[in-house]
Amino acid sequence: MAWGLPKLPGLTFSDPTKTQHHIRSSLRYYQGHRFPDTRLRAPGGTATDVDSNAFALPEDSVIYDPSLTYGRVKQPALPAVIPHWVHYDKRCLNFTAFFKQPVYENPDETYRVRVVNIVYFLEDDSLTVMEPRVKVQQFEGNDQILIIIKL
User: Higher confidence at residue 132 or residue 144?
Assistant: 132
Q: For 70-93, what is the mean pLDDT?
A: 88
Q: Using DSSP, state whether 35 is helix, strand or coil.
A: strand
Surface-to-core class of residue 79, CB atoms within 10 Å of its CB (0-12 exposed, 13-18 middle, 19+ buried): exposed
Alpha carbon distance 54, 49 (integer Å): 7
Residues shown for the chain: 151
Q: Residue 124's pLDDT is what?
A: 86
Q: Residue 120's pLDDT is what?
A: 92
Residue 64 banded pLDDT, cuts 50, 70, 90: confident
Tell me the β-bridge partners of 131: 144
Residue 146 banded pLDDT, cuts 50, 70, 90: low
Tell me the β-bridge partners of 99: 114
The string over 54-78, giving b where at least 16 C-beta atoms fall within 10 Å of a residue's C-beta and e elsewhere, is: eeeeeeeeeeeeeeeeeeeeeeeee
CATH numbers and ranges of domains, the chain? 85-150 (2.30.29.170)
* Full DSSP string of 122-139: TTTTEEEEEEPP-EETTE
Could you give the C-alpha distances from 36 to 23, 33, 42, 96, 113, in angstroms and in order?
A: 15, 10, 16, 68, 80
Read off the pTM. Answer: 0.40
Alpha carbon distance 112, 99 (integer Å): 8
| pLDDT above 80: residue 123 | yes
Each residue's pLDDT tens digit, 6-61: 777 777 777 777 777 777 777 888 888 888 877 777 777 777 776 566 666 667 66
Q: Which helix (H) or strand (E) holds 148?
A: strand 144-150
Task: Please give the share of the chain, as a percent, with pLDDT higher than 90.
Answer: 13
Q: Residue 93's pLDDT is what?
A: 94
Q: Residue 52's pLDDT is what?
A: 66
